[in-house]
Amino acid sequence: MSLLADLLTIVGVGAGAFFFLAGTVGLLRFPDTLTRLHALTKADNLGLGLIVLGLLPRAGLSGGLKLIVIWALVLLASSSASQLIARVAHRGERER
């Protein structure tokens, strides 16, 4: 059982770290604002979600619930913020 939990942690946190790395590379390499945002949201949502999932077996019940709530809040904040940034970028592009 603990082996299974350890495995889940290793796979989850490892995959989450990979998505963060991929998101960062995308942020640095992609050509314009919208594609860079696209890369960033993958890191924020999927990467953090996978890390939270990987940490769940170690956190206990109340700690695990807090982790999930944190993930949900980050989802809400980052998706709203990227919508706002994308709107400004889109408007700027049309005016050009």
Partner 1 sequence: MSLLFDIVLSLIVVALAVRVIVAEDGFAAVVSFAAYGLLVALAWVRLYAADVSLTEVAISGGLAGMLLIGAASRLRAIDARAAAQRSGRGVRLFAALLSCGVAGGLGLAVLALPDPAPSLAEAAVANLPPTGVGNPVTAVLMAFRATDTLLETVVVVLALVGVWSLAPDRLWGGRPGAREHADPNGPLAFLARVLPPIGVVVAVYLLWAGASEPGGAFQGGAILAATWLLVIMAGLSDAPATHGHGLRWLLVAGPLLFLAVGFAGIWLADAFLAYPTDWAKALIVAVEVAKLLSVAAALGLLLLGPPRRIDTP
Binding mask 19-58 for partner 1 (x = CB under 8 A): ----------------------------------------
Span of 5-13, 40-48, 51-59, 80-88 interacting with partner 1 by CB under 8 A: 80-88
Least Å distance between CB 1 and partner 1? 26
Q: Is 87 in the site for partner 1 (CB under 8 A)?
A: yes
Which pair of structure tokens corresponds to residue 66? 């807090």
Closest CA to 10 of 58, 66, 81, 74: 58
Q: Is 83 in the site for partner 1 (CB under 8 A)?
A: yes
Q: In angstroms, rounded to a whole number, what is the distance separating the alpha carbons of residues 86 and 77?
A: 14
Q: Is 80 in the site for partner 1 (CB under 8 A)?
A: yes
Going by the DSSP 8-state scheme, the letter that residue 31 receives in this structure is S
Q: In angstroms, rounded to a whole number, what is the distance separating the alpha carbons of residues 13 and 11?
A: 6
